[in-house]
Structure 1
C-alpha cells in the first residue's frame, strides 16, 4: 500500500530542493519529504495545512490517502471533502501555485480534473456523500470538458447503459466515444468503430467503422484487427475482400486472439482468400480452443471427419509446434484508412498531463493524445517449427471488459480498483 501511494503521488511534486529554497513553503516541502519517506501519518497534517491554503495538488493527494485508507481505515467523507477542494479550484480564491514550482499550471489542472472525476465516482457509489447519479454525471462532465479521457469514457458507459433516473442515450454515448477517440484513446477508437459498424447512436457506416478500427489497430488492439477482418470478409464497400480479411485475422490470431484464430480457420477450411487447407484450418481451430473459443474443439472435430490420418497427424504437429513468425511486409493501407490516431499535441496546445495512473485505461500507452503506436508485426502459422506456444497474453485494450466488473478503468496496480458504472457488453 505504501509503495502504491508513493507511486501515485510522485508525479504531483516538484523537486524538494526547489521547494526548500523558499522557507515560507516549508510545510509543503515537509509534506513531500514525509511522503517520500513513507511517513503518511506525518504527511497528513502537512497536506491538510496546504489544502487549507487552496493547494489542489495537496488536497487531491490527501483525498487519495483517505480513500485508500493509507493512514488507517478508509474515510470517504474526508476523501470527498478534499477532492472537492481540488475539483473546485476554479470557483475558490485563486491559488498562486508557488509551492508547486514551474509545473504549477499543469499540476493544478491535472489535480482539478482528477478531483472532479473522483468526486463523480463518490457520488455515483454513494461513498462519503449521498448517492446522486445526476451529481455524478455533472462532475464527470466537468472533468471530461477539461480533457479527462477517463471521464469521457465514463460518460460513454453511463449514456450507453443508463443509471437509475438516467435513461440511456445512445447518440450521446457515441458522441462521448468520438471525443475520446479524437483525443487518442485506443479503447474509444475500438468501441467507436463498433458503433459505426452496428449503428449504435449513429447511422451505420462501414467506411467510418474501418477508419476507427484502423486507428485502434495502429494503437496495438488485436480486437480491432479481428473487427477489420470481419468487415473485409463480410464485404466492406460491397464485395468481400478475403485477402485483406486473412491479413487482419492473421495479425489477431498470431496475437492469440481466439475469435481471429477461429475466423482464420474458417477461411482456410473454405479456401477463401488463401488455398483451401484442412490441416491449417484444424490447427487454428485447436489453437482457438486453447484460447477459450467455445466452438473451437467442435469445429476441429467436425473437420477431422473428412481428413486422413496423415492430415490429422500433420494438423496436431502444427498445433503442438506453433510459433508466430513475423513477416517482413506490413499490411498495405486499406482504401478507407485515413490515419485516425491524432498526432501528439504541440507544447503550446498540449492538455494538462495526466496524474499518475490511478484510473488508467486498460492500455499501456499514455492516455492523453498519444501518437499512434507502431502496429505489431504480422505473423503466420508455420509448420515444422518446434517451439512452445507463447506464454504471454497480449494486453487488452477494451475498457468495457475489465478484470474488475464494476470499473471499466480499473488497473491492478497502483491503487485499488474503484467501483463504477456498469460496463459495456461488447459483441464480437
Structure 2
C-alpha cells in the first residue's frame, strides 16, 4: 500500500469532502509501514474497505417551528465499520454539519472505539439543524422528526447513538423517547441518557475527565506534576467544563474558556465559584461565555480562540475540528507549552500536528485523549444490557483504567528509537491493527 496512491484515489472519488480526506490522510500516512508488513492486507484490499463507510443514510427532516412554519433540514447517519462491535458514535446538531464532517468523525470513531478495548464499531450522525436560539418545543419537534427517519437503522445490537456538539441530555432524551415509541422496545439504544431511564453516572463528565487522565499518564512519563500548571482550554460545553473541573481539583490553573463568539481569559485561574457559575450559565440558562466574562469582569476577546492570547503550560483544545492551526501551534511552542491533549475531535490541523511532533512535546490526538466519553458510553451499554446501575466510583475507576490502557497501547506502538512517544502513530497503529485483524478474520463483507 502506498498512502499517496490511496489518498489520490479517494480525493478523485470524493472531491468535495476535505475533512474526510484530512482524517484519512492523518491515519494512513502513519500506519503505512505497519500495513505493508502484512501482505495479506493488500491482497484483500483492506485499506480501501476500511476507509470507505459500510453505508450512509441521508434524509430530509421536516419539522414545525413555534410560528407554525414548516422548516426543513438534512440528516445523516454514517455507519463506518462494525468489525469489532455494534456501530457506536454521537449525533451532532450544528449548522456546519455536512456529509464530509460526519464521514471524518465516523472514520475517527472507528479507531477511537477500537482503542477503548470495548466491543464497539464506529459511526456518526447529525444534522445541519442548530438548537441555538430554538425553544424547547422546537428542539423536541425536530428531534422527534429526526428519529422518525432514522429509527429503523439503529438498535442496541446494531447502532447505538449518543450526544455530540449541539446534542446534550435534553436532545438525547427527546430522541430516545421517540425511538422507544417507534420501535416498541426499551433496550437502552442511546447512551448519554438521563439517570432516571438508563443513563450512567459520570457520563456527562467522562470525555473531560478521561482527557485529564490521559494527560496525567503522559506527564508521568516525564516526571511532571500537574499542580500549578497553567492550562488553556477552548470550548465551554460538557467536555471543556468537566476538563476544567477535574483540573481544578488537581491543583492546576485553568486560564481560558471559549465559545463560538469569543474567548474569556482568567489570569489567576478559574475558581470553584466561577466554575459553578459557568455550569449554571451553560447548562441551565444556555448562555454565552461573554456573560461569564462580564459577571466577573474578566478580559474577553470576541471572535478569537485562546491559543495566541493566553500564557499557558498546557493546551487542551475542546471545542471543534480544526480550531488550532500552524500559527497557533507556533505561538504555543514559543511560550513554552509542554503538552497538548485534545478534548475535541481533530481540533489541530495537520500543520499544527507537524509543529508539535517536530518540537517533541507531549501531544495526544483526540482519538486517544478524548476516548473517555465513548468508553463510559460503552459502560452504559453494559449496564443497560445487565439491567444494572454502577456507582460513580465504579465507573470512574473503570474509566481511569481504560485511559491508562489506551496510553499503554500508544506507548507500545508509538515509542521511537530515542524514547520519544509519537502518540499519533501509536494511537493510529493500535486502533488500526485491532480493526484490521477483525476484518480479516470475518472475510470479505
Does TM-score exceed 0.5, indicating one fold?
A: no
TM-score normalised over the length of structure 2: 0.29
Instruction: Report which of the two structures shows the higher radius of gyration computed on alpha carbons.
Output: 1
TM-score normalised over the length of structure 1: 0.30
The structure that is helix-richer by fraction is 1
The structure that is strand-richer by fraction is 2
